[in-house]
Amino acid sequence: MSRHERNHFEIGFFESVLRRNPRDTGVIEILGGLYTEAGRIEDGLRMDRRLVRLSPENAVAHYNLACSLALKNRQADAMKSLRKAIELGYTEVEWILSDPDLEKLHQRRDFLELIAGLVGEN
């Protein structure tokens, strides 16, 4: 089974699970990642927003939302979500700097200042 076929199968499976339990945050998070991996950025963004609504104190949910927004080239919104993720305790600086989803933010002054502040705290 190719990666594309496996991804298509997994998406179908988790969509059916989500239909039975639409508030399952674990499934929502998995689907968001699968959609994004499959290039379905808008669907991934929809899942990330849903997860943030259901788990507003989840730092990883806000981080994933920042990634989806950056992929949609909504840089200001992505920065807002990234700041919220860090405020809630997301501190994986190396991952933030290497995550290809956030690459479009790397030249922004507010991104560089945010990272400098995060590094200064650790």
Residue-wise pLDDT tens digits, 56-65: 999 999 999 9
What does the pLDDT read at residue 26?
Answer: 97
d(CA 40, CA 32): 9
Whether the model clears a pTM of 0.75, i.e. scores above it, the answer is yes
Residue listed under structure tokens 């499976």: 13
Count how many residues are written for the chain: 122
Domains of the chain and any CATH numbers = 3-121 (1.25.40.10)
Instruction: Select from 97, 24, 32 the least CA-distant residue to 69.
Output: 32
- 121 pLDDT above the threshold of 90: no
